[in-house]
């Protein structure tokens, strides 16, 4: 199996990035990743300001998938995620929902033992490794790896875990897939600057899908399918995620305008992925049994 080391990384997703590896569609690849701080915070004496926002979220890659061309879809199956034995969290003034309350920076080193996040001597939290950053190159320009968007990027969606499948747009030849920013655990919202940031490895299978149009990004995990959207305002991200799912129901299940809206009010769960990045991210999720009742199978 092909392997991309953590030293091969980018801080922005761009069509100008040279691919570090080329593979055929349907290949499996291991991405070795740094934590979102580039593994630069190793003790509680190290503060976020020593890293700086412009250097966060290095994304390993990019990977060039042969045959991927603009207007295709890239299907990425998360086959495995492994993480290191310790993670880190930081807080800092003016970052996150509580940033106005913080007057100083604080760093916390968090051990991982026996499948648990050892938060303190009273609280242990089961790990659920997830991918914070996964995206492809935009059509033009560059997008910092710390920013989410229609290309994917720093969505910080806690449902991007082992066993999930994400569908991303192909904007340039080869797609140029990159990923990083693993978390040992994260709640919806990620309300301070970070979750349990941790190095690790991600094994994915990347497949090119031709002649198909979907409101992307779309994520499948567990018993749900989700549309994900990012915007400067959380209200707009929530609206866009909802409209994307509404579009999916009409186009893919042939539901009419009103019935699909009514169904979303009954079974659609609108959730916040993160509120800490330059653009906020929301998702609308529906149970996969809705698709099964219409004999619909995802690509």
pLDDT in tens, 202-224: 999 999 999 999 999 999 999 99
Query: Percentages helix, strand, coil for the chain, rounded to the nearest 5?
Result: 15, 40, 45
Calculate mean pLDDT across residues 70-98: 97
Alpha helices in 64-153 (DSSP H): none
CATH class of 218-293: alpha beta
Rounded CA-CA distance 145/161 in Å is 19
CA gap 278, 202 in Å, rounded: 25
Structure confidence by residue, pLDDT tens digits, 238-254? 999 999 999 999 999 99
Instruction: Give the per-residue pLDDT at 232.
Output: 98
Half-sphere exposure of 129 (CA within 13 A, CB side): 25
pLDDT surpasses 90 at 50: no
Query: In which band, very low, low, confident or very high, does the pLDDT at 177 lie, cut at 50, 70 and 90?
Result: very high
CB atoms near residue 22 (< 10 Å): 12
**pLDDT score for 140:** 97
192-198 average pLDDT score: 96
pLDDT at 263 over 80: yes
For residues 2 and 159, is the Cβ–Cβ distance under 8 A?
no
Mean pLDDT score, 140-150: 97
Averaged pLDDT, 120-149? 98
Gyration radius of the chain over CA positions? 19
Q: What is the rounded average pLDDT for all residues in the chain?
A: 97
Hunting for tokens 């033992």 — which residue is that?
A: 113
Edge-to-edge strand ranges of the sheet holding 218-221: 2-4, 27-33, 200-209, 73-83, 165-169, 218-221, 224-231, 280-287, 269-274
Q: Which CATH number fits domain 2-209: 2.60.120.580, 2.120.10.30, 2.60.40.1840, 2.60.120.680?
A: 2.60.120.580
Q: How many CB atoms lie within 10 A of CB 118?
A: 15
> CB 144: neighbour CB atoms within 10 A?
19
Predicted model pTM: 0.97
Q: Are 29 and 4 in contact (CB under 8 A)?
A: yes
**Domain boundaries, given as residue ranges, for the chain:** 2-209, 218-293
What pLDDT is attached to residue 52?
A: 76
Pairing, β 280-287 against β 269-274: antiparallel
Nearest one of 214, 183, 210, 175 to 199, comparing CA atoms: 183
Q: What is the mean pLDDT of residues 115-121?
A: 98
């Amino acid at each position: 199996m092909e392997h991309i080391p953590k030293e091969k990384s980018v801080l922005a997703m761009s069509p100008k990035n040279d691919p570090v590896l080329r593979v055929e569609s349907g290949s499996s690849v291991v991405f070795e990743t740094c934590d979102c701080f580039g593994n630069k915070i190793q003790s509680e004496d190290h503060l976020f300001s020593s890293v700086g926002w412009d250097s966060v979220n290095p994304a390993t890659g990019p990977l060039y998938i042969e045959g991927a061309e603009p207007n295709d879809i890239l299907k990425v199956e998360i086959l495995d995620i492994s993480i290191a034995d310790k993670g880190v969290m930081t807080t800092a003034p003016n970052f996150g929902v509580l940033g106005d309350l913080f007057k100083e920076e604080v760093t916390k080193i968090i051990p991982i033992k026996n499948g648990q996040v050892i938060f303190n001597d009273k609280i242990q939290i089961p790990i659920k490794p997830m991918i914070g950053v996964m995206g492809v190159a935009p059509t033009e320009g560059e997008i910092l790896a710390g920013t989410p968007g229609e290309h994917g990027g720093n969505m910080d969606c806690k449902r991007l875990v082992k066993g999930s499948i994400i569908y991303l747009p192909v904007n340039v030849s080869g797609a140029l897939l990159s990923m990083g920013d693993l978390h040992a655990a994260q709640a919806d919202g990620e309300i301070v600057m970070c979750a349990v940031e941790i190095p690790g490895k991600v094994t994915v299978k990347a497949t090119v899908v031709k002649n198909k149009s979907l409101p992307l990004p779309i994520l499948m995990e567990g018993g749900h399918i989700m549309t994900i959207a990012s915007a400067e305002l959380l209200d707009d991200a929530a609206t866009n995620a909802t409209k994307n799912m509404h579009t999916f129901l009409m186009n893919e299940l042939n539901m009419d305008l009103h019935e699909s809206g009514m169904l979303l009010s009954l079974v659609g769960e609108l959730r916040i992925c993160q509120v800490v990045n330059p653009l906020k991210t929301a998702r609308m999720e529906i149970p996969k049994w809705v698709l099964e009742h219409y004999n619909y199978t995802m690509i």
